[in-house]
């Protein structure tokens, strides 16, 4: 059965209806659930921003490539929506001037980036799906995440470290979203192309889910390493038989200390006794 068999009125409604399940899956990932509860550390937030940076670099590179293409031009709003510069500001705030050497494009993020480049270069009409899921999502849910991050991480009220969530070119988010949907619905396309765009929007959400799952794995690995360093037991000294070396009781150690001062054989003991006796006699005679 075709995804568009319900005869939805326009592309924006088709996208909203047919991506509802994967949208909910993305919001229900462990990483995003923790974020929404305010259980996000600075390290987790930095990983999240770094991943977004690579994704938006790819999306906006391909947007520039297709800005004059009639299948994408109606939804090209660089001044209002582009996020790369804002993410660069945030990454410099958290990592410092050398942030480019400190971040890494992990496997799931790279998979997402590769898909964006493929679409932009070979199937530009599908780029509409990625722009829709990313930008409209950031305009909506991103504002909630901004407040959570600011409170959880005790960030400045002046907005440093949160540039990604700020859209200074959009004065009214609700009205802009209406404009964006109207522009998207105006793109001429047949039913087959519309269905491919809807499928690609689902792919975009699934790629995003993989990124969230990867970020959670990275967070868990970091926590395991930190817990290991805190609870690592001190190494035991072992004998050749691989049995733990137990210290002797205090009484035994005292006996061992005294007995070690004496020779270990009777013959040596008698020899020393005679030596001391002879020495004593000699000293006595000398004193006379």
Cβ atoms of 245 and 236 closer than 8 Å: yes
Angle at which helix 11-18 crosses helix 191-231, to 10 degrees, equals 40
Predicted confidence (pLDDT) at residue 245 exceeds the cutoff of 50? no
The CA-CA-CA angle for residues 277, 283, 288, to 5°, reads 130
Higher pLDDT, 130 or 6: 130
Three-state DSSP class for residue 265: coil
Inter-residue contact 130 to 196 (CB < 8 Å):
no
3-state secondary structure of 153: coil
Name the 3-class secondary structure at 96.
coil
Look at residue 231 in the predicted model and tell me its pLDDT. Answer: 56
Confidence tier at 244 by pLDDT (50, 70, 90): very low
Instruction: Select the more confidently predicted residue: 253 or 50.
Output: 50
HSE (side-chain half, CA atoms, 13 Å) at 210? 15
d(CA 137, CA 169): 16
Residue 177 has pLDDT above 80, yes or no: yes
Q: Is the pLDDT of residue 29 over 60?
A: yes
Q: Is the pLDDT of residue 270 over 50?
A: no
pTM of this structure: 0.77
């Amino acid at each position: 059965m075709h995804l568009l068999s319900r005869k939805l009125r326009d592309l924006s409604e088709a996208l909203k209806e047919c991506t509802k399940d994967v949208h909910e899956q993305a919001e229900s990932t462990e990483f995003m659930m923790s974020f929404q509860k305010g259980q996000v550390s600075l390290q987790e937030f930095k990983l999240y921003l770094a991943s977004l940076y690579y994704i938006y670099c790819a999306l906006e590179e391909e947007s520039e490539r297709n800005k004059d293409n009639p299948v994408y031009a109606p939804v090209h709003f660089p001044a209002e929506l582009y996020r790369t510069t804002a993410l660069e500001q945030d990454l410099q705030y958290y990592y410092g001037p050398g942030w480019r050497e400190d971040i890494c494009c992990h496997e799931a993020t790279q998979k997402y980036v590769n898909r964006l480049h493929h679409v932009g270069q070979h199937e530009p009409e599908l780029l509409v799906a990625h722009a829709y899921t990313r930008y409209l999502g950031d305009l909506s849910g991103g504002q909630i995440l901004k407040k959570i991050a600011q409170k959880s991480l005790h960030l400045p009220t002046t907005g440093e470290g949160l540039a990604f969530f700020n859209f200074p070119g959009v004065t009214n988010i609700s009205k802009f979203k209406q404009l964006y949907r109207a522009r998207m619905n105006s793109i001429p396309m047949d039913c087959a192309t519309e269905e491919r765009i809807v499928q690609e929007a689902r792919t975009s959400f699934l790629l995003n889910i993989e990124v969230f799952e990867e970020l959670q794995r990275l967070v868990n690995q970091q926590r395991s390493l930190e817990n290991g360093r805190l609870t690592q037991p001190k190494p035991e000294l072992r004998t050749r038989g691989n049995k733990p070396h137990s210290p002797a009781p205090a009484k035994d150690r005292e006996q061992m200390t005294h007995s070690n001062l004496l020779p270990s054989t009777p013959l040596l003991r008698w020899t020393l006794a005679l030596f001391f006796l002879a020495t004593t006699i000699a000293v006595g005679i000398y004193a006379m």
